[in-house]
Chain A
Amino acid sequence: MNKEGKYNFDSDFDQWLQKNNPKKGMSVPEGYFENFSDDLMSKIEFNKIDAPVSRHLLSIKSKYYISAIAASIILLVASIIFFPQEKDNIVLTDLAADQTWGYVINNASELSMEEISEFSEIDEAITDLEKELYGNNISEHFIDDQDIDLIEEIYQ
């Protein structure tokens, strides 16, 4: 900084960036890295490794969920616009798992996004997708097949 309190960019901006690397101002508690692995190991249940799932089957399953979610949202919007109806007093979490997707699709106009997100299979769909994303041989075509914005919207 010069006398007027301004930064001097006459020199190379790259140099300025390196000189002011924010990581230089960051620190960690003493002994953090020495102890981290031991702390972590105490929190891991070492008998619980998820079995690898067939990528082909997983993709189909994930696509099913994503398609169902997308269909529900489209129906929700369309129904609100074209067929305003009174809402029944049904709680999604009270329904059996195999009834819920059907209920969501058939009653889309009466459900809020919050109610849809309460649907227990949402978590399962996200877990499956997470496994796909963390598979190391993830391919661009898989990502292209997914509507990431939609998934993120539901996840939030």
Chain B
Amino acid sequence: MNTEEEVIKNIQSGVDVEKGFKFLVQLYQEKIYWHIRSIMKSHEDTNDVMQNTFIKAYKNINSFKNDAKFYTWLYRIATNESLNALKKNNKIGVVGMDEPEGIMKEVHSDPYFDGDEAQIILLQAIASLPEKQRLVFNMKYYDDMSYKDISEILNTSVGALKASFHHASKKIEAFVKSMSYE
């Protein structure tokens, strides 16, 4: 079995392109899916962004150099595609999924979400965060990524990420407490 590095080099050289790219998709599809879902919330939107992410990764794979991790490169594309999709949704009048009130509407219309009240409050709390803090919190807490990898994806220093995560955690705690004691 070829290693991931060999597969990527082969694709870049035009060898076994389809087979190789399918291997990469299957290797990372679940991780990328859940990362995108944590931003987009609904399955339908996640599926659209996921397809765009892999298509863009394929079209730009010659820009990838093997001295970096492929999955952090993919995460960066997925993150950018998700944020762009959110902005486009906001532009065409869909209630923002990056706003607490948009979350309620979105999760209730998503047949692939059956979370309880506490989970919805937590989603709203995360949605109330500024964009960068929201991304850092999701990647650290729910994707269980290292600060080093998040740093590569968001192009931010580890120190700044730790500060963002700390602020995000405090804001979420305050939001959840305010909701539960209303």
Question: SS class of chain B's interface: helix, strand, loop or mixed?
Answer: helix
- Determine if A21 is an interface residue (Cβ-Cβ < 8 Å): yes
Q: Measured between alpha carbons, how far is A6 from B84 in the docked complex, in Å?
A: 37
CB–CB A22/B122 < 8 A: yes
Q: 5 closest Cβ contacts across the A-B interface?
A: A25-B115, A7-B180, A136-B68, A20-B118, A52-B62
- Determine if A112 is an interface residue (Cβ-Cβ < 8 Å): no
Chain A residue total in the interface (Cβ 8 A): 47
Q: Measured between alpha carbons, how far is A137 from B112 in the docked complex, in Å?
A: 37
Q: In the complex, which residues of chain B have a beta carbon less than 8 angstroms from the beta carbon of A19?
A: 118
With A29-B43, A140-B155 given, is the CB distance from A40 to B33 under 8 Å? Answer: no
User: Residues of B at under 8 Å CB distance from A?
Assistant: 11, 17-18, 21-22, 25-26, 29-30, 33-34, 37-38, 43, 47, 50-51, 54-65, 67-68, 73, 76-77, 80, 84, 87, 91, 112-120, 122-123, 126, 141-142, 155, 169, 172-173, 176-177, 180-181
Partner of A134, one of B73, B113, B123, B177: B73
CB–CB A40/B51 < 8 A: yes
Q: Measured between alpha carbons, how far is A131 from B177 in the docked complex, in Å?
A: 43
Pull 19 A–B residue pairs with CB atoms less than 8 Å apart, ordered by A. Answer: A1-B118, A6-B180, A7-B180, A9-B173, A13-B169, A13-B173, A20-B118, A22-B122, A25-B119, A36-B25, A36-B29, A37-B25, A44-B54, A50-B60, A130-B56, A130-B60, A136-B64, A155-B84, A156-B91
Q: Which of A113-156 contact B (CB under 8 A)?
A: 130-131, 133-138, 140, 143, 152, 155-156
With A17-B122, A20-B122, A25-B113 given, is the CB distance from A37 to B26 under 8 Å? Answer: yes
Q: Measured between alpha carbons, how far is A102 from B51 in the docked complex, in Å?
A: 38
- Determine if A28 is an interface residue (Cβ-Cβ < 8 Å): yes
